[in-house]
Structure 1
Amino acid sequence: MRGSALWGWLGPVLVAIFGGVLRFTGLGRPHAVVFDETYYAKDAYALLRYGAERAMLGDSDNPVADKRLIAGDLDIFRRCADYDQCASYVAHPPLGKWMIGVGEWLFGMNPFGWRFAAALVGTLSILMLARVARRMTRSTLLGCFAGLLLALDGLHFVLSRTALLDIFLMFWVLAGFACLVVDRDKARERLVDWWESAAVSTTGPRLGLRPWRIAAGVCLGAACAVKWSGVFFLIAFAVLAFVWDMGARRAIGLREPYRGAFSHDLPPAAAAFAAVPAFAYALSWTGWFVTDAGWGRGWDQATSAGPLFFVVDSARSWLKYHFQVLGYHSGLDLHHPYMSEPWTWPVLFRPVSFHYPTGLPPSACGGDACSQAVIGVGTPALWYGAVLALLGCVAWYVTGRDWRAGAVLLTYAAGWLPWFYYAIAQNRTMYLFYMIPLVPFMVLAVTLMAGLLLGRADAPPPRRAAGAAVVGAFALIVLINFWWLHPVLSAETLTRAEWWDRMLMTSWVTPAPK
């Protein structure tokens, strides 16, 4: 690793602080329940109080309940002696809501409280990506460049300021990937040390305990415990890690590297990518298991016999609940005015309107008509640049088999292509913000291409200067683009004309065709 170890941390931390200031400033604005916060903020509070999601008075998206919530009236859950009547059917695992609940516990049941955890993990993800990019490129400058781009992405910014689950899914996916990159370096260090000891073997050694791989399994299990779509990344990263193991054994010149990988690396990898994530996932349901408040819990039946029956019957009820949720997701095809198809996501054809109140008086902005919006959309300059960068990674991998390009492409495919099946075969309701787990990897693609443009440290100065000019200009364009969009990402009050000027396409605001 070239450069100062101090700046290797200080640079990414400073970039993360910059991103954190953007995300925490005005976090309580808008002072309203935004988009699907109407579900998750309330579910999180119910988890804190009861250990499981609980039904409210009226429908969960009842605007009357939203107003009571904003007013601080928290007595919005049903009062009943029978918990089966109080339990709420929910479509996602509980971990993301537990994380939202931490902010509510610390700062109260208010917009700042239920958005705090999202802003925190959004900020930490900037630091994490900067460090991962530094490790992958061996450049502190490129690491900071990656962190800055993520800090300036509009979709990441909006989801870091909204109590939805997707930002937590992104965080755990990125954390799992980061752990695997560290594990890759550590495993290769062990193999080199073994090789230099003049040991004789055709398959190589067993590498022993690999804590970073176990940590990756925990993180990927946590991703699945936020949203089931985390399983796409779990499968992809398991394949990726094993391919890295085979490549490492081949790189040091073993005669039978693949047999060594299958005999020495595959069994512990199976535990790290199957048993560990399964345990982490089940652990997130602790509140459902240990209380009688959860949907379909069957507490009276489970406690009617001994401990063994309790475990067996609880597992049966839990699995039955999961099959119900699977049926819900498979049949989710209701029309929504801001739904979109996955092949339109990379070009930002149809963002999601998170917040747009009506009836604002002209005095609010000093114009004839006023707008106050939160629109979930990526920074166009970054996203369109990422499309080109991903194509560059394809060419780079085909011609040079660079592991970094391959890792980015596999992750992008794992997080994007499965939605094509749901769009074509099931006509499922989907939204642009499903792309948020891929945004860090889009940034990594741009960073890798920036590294190629900059060239090696020993490249001719004119070559370095030209590359620096191009990369610097791109970062400046992204910064200006984000600054221009910021008012419609953060609910600033604008004139209608100022708001309209920031709509890149009419599809951003007009009803989508059915």
Structure 2
Amino acid sequence: MSLMTRGERADFSLQAWLSPPQPGRRFLGWLGPLLVTAFAAFFRFDRLGQPHAVVFDETYYAKDALALLKFGAEHSTIKDAEGKDLADPLILKGDTDTIWTGGGSFVAHPPAGKWMIASGEWLFGMTPFGWRFAAALFGTLSVLVLARVTRRMTRSTLLGTGAGLLLALDGLHLVASRTAILDVFVMFWVLAAFGCLVVDRDVARARLAGRLDDLRFGPRLGMRWWRLAAGVCLGLACGTKWSGVFFVAAFGVMTFLWDSGARRAAGIHRPSAGALRRDALPAFVSVVIVSAVTYVASWAGWFASDVGWGRHWADGRGGTFSFVPAPLRSLWHYHAQVMGFHTGLDDRHRYQSWPWDWPLLRRPVAFYYSEPSGCGAAKCSREVLGVGTPAIWWAALFALAVLLGWWLLHRDWRAGAVLLGYGAGFLPWFYYAAGDRTMFAFYATPMIPFMVLAIVLSLGLLLGPAEESGRRLVGATLSGAYMLTVLANFYLLHPILTARVLTYDQWRFRIWFDTWI
């Protein structure tokens, strides 16, 4: 489909300058990304039900998801037919086997991610495969999204496919995609929002090229559906974890800067003023208001429920804001309680870490560990270690430095976007670290696509233009060697990412640092 709307007349050279065409045939543009997505799907769904145990915080989210299916809101107490508390989701088999007592459960995170987990439980039952299904699905789809977004940003099918492959080979991404925790859903919706804004950038610039009847401020560009879709995705990210709000702020600034830059490139006399006049308010509505509405809508089950925590707190209460409907005031009060919980969360945990530890992979989380028999040695080990692939994470530090230099020298929009996305997922946590808040390395999951983008853009710089054959050959050789290194690194770590039974010596060989224990 053409980026131009009916009736628009664009000068082709200007349109090509503002929004270069995509490379090659559409079929080939999908073939590579789909192949690496299938590769990712195999590793994420293979033995997904193993370990047949509750892994780390699955003990909370698997039960909360089941409660959402039954009541629309998290429920506080689960007992068996004899009145015994049930703490293990593995023994929750159905209505006839469990009794739900008490009122709503106070939980620290919004329900959107748990509704996604609940979809797998609805399809496949209250089993490890069931509650991990949605994480595996969204983790797999994120590979396809990143491959296509990278292709659009670089106009290179090769680089797009490479980005998808790197994401498929990251250890933390794999573990997050095989565990019923929330971070993989935050990552997916943030990446989807970023992708929608990248598409919107192309669409808006193509429209701008065809409507240059006002060179002072530039034209209005009409309804921008991709930016609206980005707002929905950001609302779902916030509806999974509040950390999504950092990306709302960052992407809101980013899309405004892109609009201003497009008007400047098109020759508009007052591009920043034009972006303020024509684009700022629609952007605010699409990114901020739509995400807020989507976030509130994600609480629909809580609104419809009679057992949700604090659901009727405001019923019959007066006060300054009594004109606001009672359910909304109850939700606001609930959020104030959750904010108090998050700001006061400073309990010590064996696997906690600080933001400056995350890029170095200093203290990953052991999601699961056991010492089974049957490995042919005196001592066996079986683990799910939430650690990123070092060849990706450590290379990303160098690549981000390259992009920072490239942006400072050339103001390349792609470098700026990647740095902004990475910073939105990383820098805010330093504020909470100052307050001694308990944090874990898997909080960095939403950063992973931007790390991969940084590496791929750096590889693109290494490859250089096609007409420089000598440089191209050297760049291709080095890039290929790097990809093989990542593949070998992932292959080595794979058994301790997916609970394979190893001898103790084999396990210890893969534990590179004592801080990984």
Both structures adopt the same fold (TM-score exceeding 0.5): yes
Corresponding residue number in structure 1 for 2:291 = 277
Matched, 1:46 2:56: no
Corresponding residue number in structure 1 for 2:135 = 118
Q: Pick from 145, 152, 157: which aligns with 1:140?
A: 157
1:270-302, Cα deviation, whole Å (9 max, x unpaired)? 111221011100000001111101001118937
Q: Pick from 415, 419, 440: which aligns with 1:409?
A: 419
Aligned residue pairs total 491
Corresponding residue number in structure 1 for 2:167 = 150
Corresponding residue number in structure 1 for 2:272 = 258
Q: Check 1:14–1:79 CA distance in 2 against 1; reply closer, same or farther (3 A cut).
A: closer
- Aligned partner of 1:252: which letter? A
1:398-417, Cα deviation, whole Å (9 max, x unpaired)? 11110000001111111111
CA contact (8 A) 1:68 1:74 kept: no
- Aligned partner of 1:328: which letter? F
Corresponding residue number in structure 2 for 1:350 = 363
CA contact (8 A) 2:77 2:85 kept: no
Q: Which runs of 5+ in 1 are unaligned?
A: 510-514
Matches within 5 A, 1:467-506: 467-506=475-514
CA distance in 2, matches of 1:439, 1:477: 18
CA contact (8 A) 2:78 2:85 kept: no
Corresponding residue number in structure 1 for 2:281 = 267
SS where residue 55 of structure 1 aligns?
A: strand
CA distance in 1, matches of 2:124, 2:440: 30
Corresponding residue number in structure 2 for 1:512 = none
Corresponding residue number in structure 1 for 2:7 = none
- Aligned partner of 1:472: which letter? G
Deviation, 1:10, is 1.4
Corresponding residue number in structure 1 for 2:400 = 390
- Aligned partner of 2:479: which letter? V
CA distance in 1, matches of 2:56, 2:32: 35
Matched, 1:327 2:340: yes
Matches within 5 A, 1:32-111: 32-57=53-78, 65-67=86-88, 69-70=90-91, 72=93, 79-80=100-101, 85-111=102-128
CA distance in 1, matches of 2:378, 2:384: 20
Q: Which runs of 5+ in 2 are unaligned?
A: 1-21
1:112-144, Cα deviation, whole Å (9 max, x unpaired)? 000000000000000000000000000000000
CA distance in 1, matches of 2:52, 2:94: 15
CA distance in 1, matches of 2:465, 2:73: 54
Corresponding residue number in structure 2 for 1:240 = 254
CA distance in 1, matches of 2:46, 2:301: 33
Matches within 5 A, 1:91-240: 91-195=108-212, 199-240=213-254
1:189-231, Cα deviation, whole Å (9 max, x unpaired)? 0111123xxx243110001100000000010011000000000
CA distance in 2, matches of 1:5, 1:271: 33
Q: Percent identity, aligned pairs only?
A: 57
Corresponding residue number in structure 2 for 1:427 = 436
CA contact (8 A) 1:56 1:77 kept: no
SS where residue 353 of structure 2 aligns?
A: coil
1:299-339, Cα deviation, whole Å (9 max, x unpaired)? 8937x99xx98971111111000000000000000000000
CA distance in 2, matches of 1:454, 1:402: 17
Corresponding residue number in structure 2 for 1:441 = 450
Deviation, 1:69, is 2.4
Deviation, 1:57, is 3.3
Q: Check 1:78–1:89 CA distance in 2 against 1; reply closer, same or farther (3 A cut).
A: farther
- Aligned partner of 2:71: which letter? Y
Q: Check 1:173–1:21 CA distance in 2 against 1; reply closer, same or farther (3 A cut).
A: same
CA contact (8 A) 2:171 2:386 kept: yes
CA contact (8 A) 2:138 2:188 kept: yes
1:246-274, Cα deviation, whole Å (9 max, x unpaired)? 10101111111111111100110111122
SS where residue 294 of structure 1 aligns?
A: coil
Q: Check 1:28–1:70 CA distance in 2 against 1; reply closer, same or farther (3 A cut).
A: farther
CA distance in 2, matches of 1:318, 1:189: 42
CA distance in 1, matches of 2:431, 2:436: 9
Deviation, 1:64, is 7.2
Name whichever structure is richer in helix by fraction: 1
Deviation, 1:72, is 3.4
Corresponding residue number in structure 1 for 2:13 = none
CA distance in 1, matches of 2:160, 2:180: 28
CA distance in 1, matches of 2:162, 2:428: 30
Deviation, 1:462, is 1.9
Matched, 1:378 2:372: no
Corresponding residue number in structure 2 for 1:337 = 350
CA distance in 2, matches of 1:52, 1:75: 20
Q: Check 1:448–1:206 CA distance in 2 against 1; reply closer, same or farther (3 A cut).
A: same
- Aligned partner of 1:105: which letter? W
CA contact (8 A) 1:33 1:70 kept: no
CA distance in 1, matches of 2:465, 2:70: 56
CA contact (8 A) 1:292 1:299 kept: no
TM-score by length of 1: 0.92
CA contact (8 A) 1:24 1:119 kept: yes
Matched, 1:16 2:16: no
CA distance in 1, matches of 2:74, 2:89: 18
Deviation, 1:67, is 4.2
CA contact (8 A) 2:89 2:126 kept: no
Q: Check 1:444–1:89 CA distance in 2 against 1; reply closer, same or farther (3 A cut).
A: same
CA contact (8 A) 2:314 2:330 kept: no
Q: Check 1:297–1:113 CA distance in 2 against 1; reply closer, same or farther (3 A cut).
A: same
Q: Pick from 345, 361, 365: which aligns with 2:375?
A: 365
CA contact (8 A) 2:302 2:308 kept: yes
CA distance in 1, matches of 2:181, 2:351: 16
Q: Check 1:463–1:20 CA distance in 2 against 1; reply closer, same or farther (3 A cut).
A: same
SS where residue 2 of structure 1 aligns?
A: coil
CA contact (8 A) 1:32 1:70 kept: no
Corresponding residue number in structure 2 for 1:291 = 305
CA distance in 2, matches of 1:50, 1:159: 27
Matched, 1:508 2:497: no
- Aligned partner of 2:512: which letter? L
